[in-house]
Structure 1
């Protein structure tokens, strides 16, 4: 008779199951692992092995067979002895014996038993329900060299943390301003600040694209042009763009003036970029009206900056 199923059942509960006068099947805990070449993940399991030196009958297998089949203990031992004789006879004939869900047994030329464990079952009950799986390898690309090259041309780093910090600064500043303004002017200031914040957010989102356009597309910028800078008039400024190179900012000013705008540079922003405006206004209504016209006819990305410029 085949005793594979009984041995397999006991391996779930015990670390050593002895087949009397033949050898012992052992289990050893093995932690979870990843196969490097196949990217396969394996859960914790019991690793099976065989020791031909452990042959003394400990009664474990015989007791289990006797209880399972409700037969006398002596008859169970007789069945085990018969099965051991069958294994030795077949192995000496050069046959390989397959023990279902346990492994295969074979004999070397010098009569040593070779055991090859099966991996169909995981005998570790703590890993019940956990199966192995394979996942594609995560491709990790290193952009260090590329970033260093870009930094030489445009050393700017926009990170979520910095932007978040800027928003906090804006929020705190807005709270201080609103706290000091009377009830009569509250609605007006709130509308202006909200519009300024919305415009700043939209400008930040497009800032990197504008920097790329200004820094990399213009390969041959015009020579530096000396301009007479007019004194700033008004605190409402319609921004046309921000440029890393001062030459490109000057070129933009010339282009806008050719179109009839009172364009000029109003200094650098917090990113160190040269800001160019279509014009400045002292009245918010006039500034908003002109902004709508510019967005329709010339530049959809134009935005309104509300800021008192230093004289």
Structure 2
């Protein structure tokens, strides 16, 4: 089954072509808020399919050869066999179900229709992040309740004789006290609303921090501390990096750099990303072609899970 290899490649590449069948493409959707359900959704890499892109770029076959430990030609043959099986299923007007990718079928016009597997998020920077539901703030409802109370508290003057002005004095005092009471009640409710709003914001922030902590990578057996002149940032003319991993701890990132340097790589620790993780690079490259060549060599000799990152 080649779909597991397609799924693995989509975490690192924007396009994975299946020769003779089509290409799976990815597009990054930013985080957003669903106002109806009061839910915050993290950024996500969505998957689509284009049946017009069928040329063999070697990416899928090379990955299968490395993972299955077979020759490149055998991997190409395995892809071709899988494509023939898929076409046979479609000719029978059945649906192809690809795990972690989605479903492919034919419409009434005979064109391929792809339905993605929505729960899968291929954006590595969003690992560990899930949707957060926040309670709606009832500020406007409380304000409406206070205004209704103000309308139900009229000032009533008792009719008396013209010569009796003392009752008017009492009525004036009553009006002042009533107004002060309503004002105090409104102030109290506004304070309660602010407290509730702050509590909700703190709750959301705690949940987000918990999710970010879940995205942390750890070293099970850390090496002893090694003092080496590590480069924190790559030169401006090397925007392409083959990344070995990302670490929450700056010390662990430095230890990983030391390990790679000991193996002969020009490793370096890059600036932390927006989640506070420190990426560790095998080395920087000036062009995309050089970075691809370097990554393929690293896949063969050291780490088949290394991935390419572009520093803007």
Q: TM-score, normalised by structure 2?
A: 0.49
TM-score, with structure 1 as normaliser: 0.49
